[in-house]
Amino acid sequence: MKKALVLAAALALAVTPAAAQESAAPSASVQAQSAVVTTAQAPSIFVSRDEIRQRVAVAEAEREGAQIGSSNWWYTVAAIALGVVIALLLID
């Protein structure tokens, strides 16, 4: 049981930096587009249909630019493999 816990802890430690990098770096073009949308209108609790359409268009443009099988996925795989190697070294 102890070996399984050590393996799980090593995997969690190895994957955490890769996951943090993936979630912390939104593309600059999306940030620029969202800045244009928010500065054009005053904040309100009532959202117009045009604003919703603009947000949907920005989200769709971001998805079209996303690449399936990007390098972030490979970094995650490499982090998991590294975690397995570290766990195996700690077990022995």
pLDDT value of residue 53: 93
pLDDT at 82: 93
Q: Are 10 and 90 in contact (CB under 8 A)?
A: yes
How high is the pLDDT of residue 72?
75
pLDDT score for 35? 55
Give residue limits of the domains in the chain: 2-16+27-91
Q: What is the pLDDT of residue 2?
A: 76
Is the four-CA dihedral 3, 21, 67, 58 of positive or negative sign?
positive
| Residues of the chain scoring pLDDT < 50 | none
**What's the gap between Cα 56 and its chain centre?**
19
